[in-house]
Amino acid sequence: MGKMIIIGMGTGDKWDLSYRSYQLLNSDIPKFARTGQHPLIQKNTWNHLICFDDVFEENDSLEEVYETIYQRLLLEAKQEDQIIYLVPGSPKIGDETVKRIRSELPTEEFEILENQSFRDKALMMSEAKEKDIKMIDVSSLSVMNLDIHSGILIGQLENQILGAHAKIVLSEVYPINTKIKVIDVIENKIDIISLYSLDQLEKYTYSTYIFVESIDNTRVHVYNINDLKNVMAELRGPEGCPWDRKQTHHSIRECVIEEAYEVVDAIDENDVDHLVEELGDLLLQVVFHCQMADEEGYFNFTDVTTAIVKKLYRRHPHVFGDQKANDSVEALKTWEEIKSQEKNQSVLTDSDKMDKIPKSMSPLTRSYKIQENAAKVGFDWPDISGAIMKMNEELTELMEAYGSGNEKKTEEELGDLLFAIVNFARFLKINPDLALNRTCKKFIDRFRYIEDHVDGTLKDQSLEEMDRLWEQSKRH
């Protein structure tokens, strides 16, 4: 196969080209240009030049365009000793065909000649005052990679549809009246418009860039995880909140449990707004602990996210590897097998595994998981009737202990009965914590009904009257 020489045509001025690029452009080597809509092509007449503008017209997506160009270049290279592929700006920025050539062809089969990139010129024209500039292709633009504290330079805005996409994403974070610089690096032109008008521009080309200046926190109406981390760092800082600065991992450990239960409450209530609020409160606990650990030099938020992402990759070989999982049962089995290998659980006894179930977990849920582990090795009733029989047995033993007046024995037997009830719940596939929480809510709702329907205060009511209202509440 012949050699491909990929030349970046820069931003329109032939005097910005390297001497070798200029010589090659004026040679008889076959030339293929991604587009003829470039000043160098329009102002010069070169031999053996074919432009691929028709490929853009004939295909529905940019993926199809780049695939067609790539296959055409391979075909031409097989028939010639050398061919030249011309791209606007720099070959290493923004051209998917060049990316594929660099990743799939041996290095001896292509050569890249750099010239000034559109992006570099756009950055210069933006006159950005920010020290930190993020450069993003519009195709990968999302709320997650926007940072209000940095200047944002967005490229590859080749048509009005992509301009509309940029507006939609930016509007999620920036006020709709935010000023946007629209830069055309070929025309050497800058227009300043509002974000609201970004989808109304008619002239978008491959040389169009937009620049968004950094903005003050108070002007933002959508925040991301970086903002939350920054707020927490400030709260824990020298001029921060005395309460936040005083906390330790130990002092707020119960907050994690409390916030997790409030998330479950919001889910059970089918209240989306409440769920958003409670997930935020739970996320705050994660960020809070990460901030304290970062101050102590132990770990930070990135360490936490890195650890969980790596774990997800490892434990999903049926998604990110070569293994297969035909259903959720097989996927869960794979997860548990890999987890066991990672934690070296093959050398643990089954009682060791039970003992490793967190003791800070709700006793009901911990009991459930302990009995799940026992069932995995066959220590279980054949069916639910055994669990029912055990509950009745434990209830009898509890009443006998109670009748004997032995408080320690009564407490022990009460624990045995609760453990048996949890096992019954396991057979029914009912989470005992959630079931008990629903009963607590039901009790509170009925008690509130009594409060709302008595004359005077509850202390003034007879037990009979409150019991009557209690029974009445069941019908409402």
Q: What's 59's domain CATH number?
A: 3.40.1010.10
β-pair partners for 83: 4
Q: For residue 450, count other CB atoms closer than 10 A to its CB.
A: 18
Residue 325, domain member (yes or no): no
Q: What pLDDT sits at residue 47?
A: 87
Give 250's contacts (C-beta < 8 A, 6+ positions apart): none
Distance between first and last Cα of the chain? 82
Is the domain of 443 the same as that of 422? no
Residue 173, domain member (yes or no): yes
Round to whole Å and give the CA distance between 8 and 25. 11
10 with 40: CB under 8 angstroms?
yes
SS3 at position 375: helix
Q: What pLDDT sits at residue 347?
A: 63
Residue 67, domain member (yes or no): yes
9 with 40: CB under 8 angstroms?
yes
Residue 327, domain member (yes or no): no
Query: Is the backbone of residue 258 left (phi > 0), alpha (psi -120 to 50) or beta?
Result: alpha
Domain CATH code at residue 398: 1.10.287.1080
In Å, how far are 96, 110, 145, 253 from 139, measured between CA atoms?
12, 27, 12, 42
Is the domain of 128 the same as that of 175? yes
Give 452's contacts (C-beta < 8 A, 6+ positions apart): none
Helix or strand (DSSP H, E) at 183: strand 179-184
Helix or strand (DSSP H, E) at 190: strand 189-194
- Token representation of residue 98: 């060049």
Q: For residue 187, count other CB atoms closer than 10 A to its CB.
A: 13
- Token representation of residue 160: 């009005």
Is the domain of 125 the same as that of 112? no
Strands 3-8 and 82-87: parallel
Q: What pLDDT sits at residue 240?
A: 95
CA-wise closest residue to 183 among 150, 151, 160, 206:
206
Is the domain of 286 the same as that of 300? yes
Question: Which of residues 395, 410, 430 is at a domain's end?
Answer: 430
Q: What pLDDT sits at residue 339?
A: 86
Round to whole Å and give the CA distance between 34 and 87. 6
Is the domain of 438 the same as that of 389? no
Q: Which residue has the tokens 């690029």?
A: 21
Determine the structural domain holding residue 149 and report its residue range: 120-219
Is the domain of 171 the same as that of 90? no
Is the domain of 153 the same as that of 234? no
DSSP 135: E
Is the domain of 76 the same as that of 17? yes
Is the domain of 215 the same as that of 232? no
Round to whole Å and give the CA distance between 31 and 356. 68
- Token representation of residue 151: 């200047």
Q: What pLDDT sits at residue 61?
A: 86
Is the domain of 30 the same as that of 85? yes
Q: What pLDDT sits at residue 255?
A: 93
- Output the pTM of the full model: 0.58
Q: What pLDDT sits at residue 409?
A: 95
Domain CATH code at residue 201: 3.30.950.10
pLDDT (tens, 9 = 90+) of the chain, 476 residues, equals 899 999 998 887 777 788 899 899 999 999 999 999 888 888 888 889 999 999 988 988 888 999 999 999 999 999 999 999 999 888 887 788 999 999 999 999 999 998 888 888 898 899 888 778 889 999 889 988 888 888 999 998 989 999 999 999 999 888 889 999 999 988 889 999 999 999 998 889 888 999 999 887 666 667 788 889 999 999 999 999 999 999 999 999 989 989 998 998 899 889 999 999 999 999 999 999 999 999 999 999 999 999 999 999 999 999 999 999 999 999 999 998 898 888 776 667 888 888 888 887 889 999 999 999 899 889 999 999 999 999 999 999 999 999 999 999 999 999 999 999 999 999 999 999 889 988 998 999 999 999 888 888 888 888 988 989 999 998 87
Question: Which of residues 196, 219, 242 is at a domain's end?
Answer: 219
Q: What pLDDT sits at residue 221?
A: 66
Q: Which residue has the tokens 């997790």?
A: 260
Round to whole Å and give the CA distance between 163 and 145. 17
Residue 179, domain member (yes or no): yes
Laid out side by side, the sheet with 151-155 consists of: 133-137, 151-155, 208-212, 179-184, 189-194
Is the domain of 387 the same as that of 419? yes
Question: Which of residues 116, 135, 163 is at a domain's end?
Answer: 116
Residue 460, domain member (yes or no): yes
- Token representation of residue 119: 């992006």
Residue 259, domain member (yes or no): yes
Length of the chain: 476
Residue 333, domain member (yes or no): no
In Å, how far are 7, 24, 189 from 19, measured between CA atoms?
12, 9, 27
Is the domain of 80 the same as that of 93? yes
**Structural domain count of the chain:** 5
